Structures are given as structure tokens and as C-alpha cells.
Structure 1
Amino acid sequence: MYIIDSPSHDAYFNIAAEEYLLSRFPKEDLFLLYVNAPSIIVGKFQNTLAEINLQYVQEKNIKVVRRMSGGGTVYHDLGNLNFSFHTLLGEYDFMDFSAFTKPVLTLLNNLGVPAVLKGRNDLLVDDKKFSGNAKLARQGKMIQHGTILLHSEMEVLSQALTVNPLKFVDKATKSTRSRVTNLSEYLPEPLSTEAFKKLLTEEIIHNNPAAERYELTPEDITGIKKLAAEKYETWDWNFGFSPNYNFKKGIKVPAGFIEVHLDVEKGTIKQAKIFGDFFAENPIEDLETQLIGVKHESSQINKVLSAVDITQYFGKVEVEEILEAFL
């Protein structure tokens, strides 16, 4: 087994690293550790916009990244440690999460924390979740990865993952919102993320005496950055990959009430209807037509709204006010 400690706090880089390492080490067992700066990691099959508070995320410059595995949405920051096991497919039961969460539980139990694996894939203490885990099978290997909340900013986590449930209706898998907690509330003494990482690494080495540390080479880093730029930093992957959904949102502005309905397929608006009690000098249908084929994304919709005299459709109103109804 190779133990790899990522040198980066960039979520794009670290999520890309998981895929890159599949090809880099097609047969070897790996244990990867990484810590991300504030970011939201969504499951492969989720509708990103239905999982996040977009306005808050944009204001806080929180990165949003879709990972390769299924499961729910999680929040990462510097108070959260992420671990990832890579093994040959078939060596372990794919649906059994216990084998690779056991080192985490053993370490915590030895520290006096009564942590347990409960349900399908969650680690809990006092029935509060501090770790979610996910899996995928690809290229003959299996990856199981998880989070460990140590001293994350819970207020940011709560705000970043809060969405108006009336805004979206879709068939994508919604994340299960669980009561979550930081392990810092249960540890006998304060532990930094780095200190906990060191302890977990020691636990892995204790269970795998032949394990070797591997440092990413300049070639590895170049390869990971290339994959990140081509895939994990793109709107098409992080948002456009989302399943089809119907968007609905209403806002109140001085010009009146405005309600937007959008049918979105793979991130692109296929149909738009705008309702309300505003007064339109020009047919609102003209604006609706111009929205068809546009990405359901702030900058693209802003271009459409800015290219017309918006007051001809909604009366005395600013583009920024109307834009809010589309996001």
C-alpha cells in the first residue's frame, strides 16, 4: 500500500487526484489523505443547483465540485479531513463500508470517542454524523472515500447547503440532511487537522506494516492539474452534468411579482415561462424565447437580460433584480 498525503488544499486538484491515481496506480492499494479549502462536493448523480445555496456559495467564493462517486453532498473546509482507499475490485464486498471505516473508528475509540458505523455509510457519535462515506468501481479498482468533521465551520456548512425546497422539482437523488457534529466536541483534548491526520496515518501503518509513503512527483502534479482544468473545474461537469429538472422561483420587486419556470436538460434551458403581475410593454414571450438554449448559469442568463431593455418587459427594474428570479 502507498500512503499519499496531498500537498494541495484545492478541491479541484484533490478530486481530480482521485481519478488520476486510478490510472497512475492500476494495481496498487492506495491510502490518500487531503484537506480542502471551503468547498462543496456533490455526488455524481445529483442536481448541483438543488443541493446548494447558490447565492451564498458565490458570495463566499466556495468552490463546487462534482466527484466520481454517488452519494450525497458534503461540505469541506480546513477543519475537515478526507480519506480515500483504492483497492482492486473484488477484494472486498462493494456494499460493505465497514472494512475501510474501521481504522477511523479504532483510532477514535482508542481516544475515548464512542464512534460507530450506523446505517449504510455514516459514522456517528451520539447519533450525530461526523463522517459520510461513498464508493465507486472503475477501471478494475474500487474507491471508498469519506470525510471526517473535526472542527469545521458549522454555520457555513448549514448556510452553504440550505436550498429553498420549492425551487426545484427533479428526479435526482437529494442529499439526506442529517444532524452533524464536529469531533472536537468529543475528543479528550484539542487536535488540529494535521495532528489527526498524523494519528490516522499511524493507524493505517500499524495495520499495514509494509505500507510506503509516496510523494506526488512533478509529473503527477502536472497530470492532476491538467485533468482538473479539463474536467473538474468546468461548468459542464459540475453543473451541466446534472440530471433534467424543473426550476421554479418567485420574487417580489418594485415592478411587481415575478415567477420564473424553467425546464432544464443537462444544464441548458429548454423551455421558459415567466408569470407575474408586472406590466410588460413588449411581449414577455419574446424574452422567454431568447432564454431557450442558454445555460442555467448566472453569467449566461445575465448576458441575455443585459442585451435587452429589461424595462420593456418588467417596467422600472434593474437586471440584477430580475436575475435573482432565475437562480
Structure 2
Amino acid sequence: MLTIINNETDPLYNLALEEYVFKHLHINEDILLIWQNKNSVIIGRDQNPFREVNCPYTHKNKIPMFRRLTFGETIYHDLGTINYSFIVRDVKENFDRYNIFLDPIVKILNELGVPSHLESDGDICLEGLRISANTQTYHRNKMIHHGVLFFNTNLEKLDQVIEIPTKSEFEYDIVKTKHNGITNIKEYLKEDLSIKQFKKYLLDKLIGEDLIDKQYKLDYIDKTKIKKIAKEKYSTWEWNYGESPKFIIKKEFDNRMMITLIVEKGIINRVSIDSFENVMALVKGLEGSRFDEKSLKERLRFCTTIDIDKLIETLLF
């Protein structure tokens, strides 16, 4: 197994790197990636960000949201969170066998004094709390096992970022994020280690201490292709929001009307408004709009009988 030393903390680049190695880098070796992202929210491949993410909080605190290529739950990332991806060629022998990838990590954690164990759902836990979440997917003859380790994550921010709206507001959700307790690895280490030291220890144990002959070094062509994927996919509204599953949202507005929206691929395609007022202009403005602030403001600018900013805040936040 080889590794790619990656000190980049931009989630756009790192998501694109992961996809590039997984789908486009054709070498006869398995690859282990270990990296960190700066403040960001990363949702699963088939998740609904409008359902999973506390949008008012992330908007106010300028925390960006991105969709990853693997399935699973929403995760808050910061520089206290470690990501790892095992990208391997033998799908038949490895897919859906989480223990193959996680037993070595559990062993390493226990060596460091962290009394952890692997749960049947693919989480690594200790004392009933999660310290790692994991997911897998495959593409042609390769698979990826992706996970995070909560080393020294800001758990207060993590709790703020992930929100569950009331059941009456959302229908047609696919994968929902687990909200059971999470704790940090750093609190349980028998010796105080920085995250840099912990990453090195992890990499040395998984790959071997002599990394000189165990690295794949990205060249100019590799990096150019990675940046292209970041720009054309992971930075786009179409990927991050437009790939959301169909959902229905119901909101009461200003004690004047009950609004029901059916949203598919991030676009409002059906609108129902229960009101005694004439709402034809509002229905026309909503239908066909992206379910985002900029598009709604543009589409509803001619609706002069209601407070548009207040309506948008009600619908989105």
C-alpha cells in the first residue's frame, strides 16, 4: 500500500483529490490518504443538506458545505478532525467488511491508551461514545473506505452545525445523520500528542515508518486534473445542492398562509399555498426556482404584497 502526503486543508481540493485517486488514478497499488479539512460541513452522497445542516448557523458563521462522493452521514470538519481513505482494488474481498480497515486503527488507538472497539454499524466507540464514523462505496473494480477520527474536534460547533427540523417540516428524507454522542480521542491518550504527532504515528503504523519508497507523488498533470474536478464538480451548486433527494417542506408564514413545496434536485417544482389571499404571483415565482436565497430573491422580486426577506427566511431557515 502506498500513501500520498497531503498537507492541503481546503475541503474542495481534498474532496477532488479523493475522487481523482479513486476513479482516475490507474496504478497497480492500493492507496491510503490521510488529511485534515478546515472548517466545513461535509454531507453524504445521497443526503439532503436542507434537512441535515443548520443553515442559519453555517450561513452566519461562514461555514461552507460540500457533498462528498461516499454515502453516509453529515460530518462537521475542522483542523481537529482527521480524514482517512483506503482506496483498494479488490472489491469482492473488501467491500462491506469494515473490520478489515478498522481493526488496525482500533489496535493503534488501544496502544495509545484509548480503550476503543468497533461497533457492528462501522463506528469506532469508547464508553458508549463515538470517536470515528465510516462509510464505503465502490466504482468498477475499486472501492473506497472513508472515515473520520474525532481527535480534537470542536464538539460545540459540531452540535450547532447539525440540526433536525421538526417532522412536520420535512418528508422524503433518505439518510439521516446520527446524533448520538461523540467524544474526542485526545482526552483519552495516555501520553499527550499533537494532532501532527498522532497523524504520523497512525501513518507509520498503517504504512510503515520508511515512507520514502511508499509514496505516490502527484505530478503537475495529476494536480491539474484534481483542480479541474474541484472547480467543475465540488464547487458547484448543482453537485452540492442539486443532487439532493426529493423532499417536501411545509411552512406556515406570518399566520397568513401554509406553504407546501415539493423540491427535486434542489428545484421547487410544485407549490401549494393554503390562504384566503390571492397567491397566484407567489406560486408563479416559487415554481421553477432553485431552493436558495439568491434565486428566490430574484424570482420573488415582483411580489409586493408580502415581506420577501421574511418569507425566504421562513422557507430556508
TM-score (norm 1): 0.90
- Report the Cα distance in structure 2 between the residues aligned to 1:246 and 1:93, rounded to whole angstroms: 37
- Report the Cα distance in structure 2 between the residues aligned to 1:97 and 1:141, rounded to whole angstroms: 15
Please say if residues 52 and 74 of structure 2, whose CA atoms lie closer than 8 Å, have aligned partners that are also in contact.
Answer: yes
How far apart are residue 190 of structure 1 and its match? 3.0
Please say if residues 263 and 291 of structure 2, whose CA atoms lie closer than 8 Å, have aligned partners that are also in contact.
Answer: yes
Q: 2:201 aligns with which of 199, 202, 221?
A: 199
How far apart are residue 308 of structure 1 and its match? 1.3
Three-state SS of the structure 1 residue aligned to 2:298 is: helix
Task: Identify the residue that residue 176 of structure 1 maps to in structure 2.
Answer: 178
- Report the Cα distance in structure 1 between the residues aligned to 2:223 and 2:30, rounded to whole angstroms: 19
Unaligned runs of 5+ in 1: none
Please say if residues 132 and 148 of structure 2, whose CA atoms lie closer than 8 Å, have aligned partners that are also in contact.
Answer: yes
How far apart are residue 20 of structure 1 and its match? 0.5
How far apart are residue 136 of structure 1 and its match? 0.8
Please say if residues 88 and 142 of structure 2, whose CA atoms lie closer than 8 Å, have aligned partners that are also in contact.
Answer: yes
For the pair 1:13 / 2:13, whether they are aligned, the reply is yes
Please say if residues 170 and 246 of structure 1, whose CA atoms lie closer than 8 Å, have aligned partners that are also in contact.
Answer: yes
- Report the Cα distance in structure 2 between the residues aligned to 1:110 and 1:103, rounded to whole angstroms: 11
Task: Identify the residue that residue 260 of structure 2 maps to in structure 1.
Answer: 261
Three-state SS of the structure 2 residue aligned to 1:179 is: coil
How far apart are residue 140 of structure 1 and its match? 1.1
How far apart are residue 211 of structure 1 and its match? 6.0
- Report the Cα distance in structure 2 between the residues aligned to 1:208 and 1:131, rounded to whole angstroms: 27
How far apart are residue 43 of structure 1 and its match? 1.2
Q: What is the CA RMSD across the aligned residues, in angstroms?
A: 2.1
The CA deviation string for residues 288-317 of structure 1, in whole angstroms up to 9 with x for no partner, is 122111111121112122x2143x2x3xx3
TM-score (norm 2): 0.92
| Counterpart amino acid of residue 110 in structure 1 | E
- Report the Cα distance in structure 2 between the residues aligned to 1:207 and 1:137, rounded to whole angstroms: 29
Task: Identify the residue that residue 3 of structure 1 maps to in structure 2.
Answer: 3
Please say if residues 86 and 141 of structure 1, whose CA atoms lie closer than 8 Å, have aligned partners that are also in contact.
Answer: yes
Task: Identify the residue that residue 150 of structure 1 maps to in structure 2.
Answer: 151
Please say if residues 273 and 288 of structure 1, whose CA atoms lie closer than 8 Å, have aligned partners that are also in contact.
Answer: yes
How far apart are residue 257 of structure 1 and its match? 4.9
Please say if residues 103 and 200 of structure 1, whose CA atoms lie closer than 8 Å, have aligned partners that are also in contact.
Answer: no
| Counterpart amino acid of residue 14 in structure 1 | N
Q: 1:170 to 1:91 in 2, by over 3 A?
A: closer
- Counterpart mapping for 1:142-291 below 5 A: 142-166=143-167, 167-206=169-208, 212-252=214-254, 256-275=255-274, 280=277, 283-291=278-286
- Report the Cα distance in structure 2 between the residues aligned to 1:43 and 1:15, rounded to whole angstroms: 12
How far apart are residue 208 of structure 1 and its match? 9.6
Task: Identify the residue that residue 298 of structure 2 maps to in structure 1.
Answer: 303
- Report the Cα distance in structure 2 between the residues aligned to 1:299 and 1:86, rounded to whole angstroms: 38
| Counterpart amino acid of residue 302 in structure 1 | K
- Report the Cα distance in structure 1 between the residues aligned to 2:134 and 2:70, rounded to whole angstroms: 10
How far apart are residue 161 of structure 1 and its match? 0.6
Moved more, 256-265 or 291-300: 256-265
- Report the Cα distance in structure 2 between the residues aligned to 1:117 and 1:250, rounded to whole angstroms: 44
- Report the Cα distance in structure 2 between the residues aligned to 1:104 and 1:229, rounded to whole angstroms: 33
Q: 1:322 aligns with which of 302, 307, 311?
A: 311
- Report the Cα distance in structure 2 between the residues aligned to 1:274 and 1:37, rounded to whole angstroms: 41
How far apart are residue 14 of structure 1 and its match? 0.7
Three-state SS of the structure 1 residue aligned to 2:160 is: helix
How far apart are residue 66 of structure 1 and its match? 1.2
How far apart are residue 207 of structure 1 and its match? 9.3
Please say if residues 248 and 262 of structure 1, whose CA atoms lie closer than 8 Å, have aligned partners that are also in contact.
Answer: yes
| Counterpart amino acid of residue 324 in structure 1 | E
How far apart are residue 215 of structure 1 and its match? 3.2
Q: 1:137 to 1:216 in 2, by over 3 A?
A: same
How far apart are residue 91 of structure 1 and its match? 5.6
The CA deviation string for residues 129-156 of structure 1, in whole angstroms up to 9 with x for no partner, is 0100111111311110100001111111
- Report the Cα distance in structure 2 between the residues aligned to 1:211 and 1:259, rounded to whole angstroms: 64
